[in-house]
Amino acid sequence: MALEERKGNNINNNNIMQNIILENREKLSISGVLDVLSFDDQIVILETELGLLTIKGENLRINKLSLDTTEVVIDGEVYNLGYSEKDSIQKSNGGFFNKIFK
């Protein structure tokens, strides 16, 4: 399935909208955030409406957190953004954090 088809299906079927804006790899603004699961200066793990989002970098800090408006702003040097499906994490035997620290 093409990316445009998947994106269209998600928005039409679930009315889910998420925006990610990365400015100069130093300021990351994310909407559609449900919860902050873990954070330190090198990794931030967010639960979003589209799955778990992992942000990796250096000197990461959460500058703004509003779960009422589902917005998060992260400052620092961003190296990597990665999604994983919520369903696949819940179905795993050892849990999410066991997979990270294997």
Specify if 3 maps to a domain.
no
Q: Which CATH number covers residue 85?
A: 2.60.40.2000
Specify if 8 maps to a domain.
no
CA angle centred on 72, ends 75 and 61, rounded to 5°: 30
Per-residue pLDDT band at 3 (split at 50, 70, 90): very low
Specify if 85 maps to a domain.
yes
Rounded-to-integer distance, Cα 24 and Cα 27, Å: 7
pLDDT digit string, tens, across residues 25-76: 999 999 999 999 999 999 999 999 999 999 999 999 999 999 889 999 999 9
Specify if 26 maps to a domain.
yes
Specify if 5 maps to a domain.
no
Specify if 24 maps to a domain.
yes
List the structure tokens of 27: 């300021």
Total structural domains in the chain?
1
Specify if 37 maps to a domain.
yes
Per-residue pLDDT band at 94 (split at 50, 70, 90): low
pLDDT of residue 11: 45
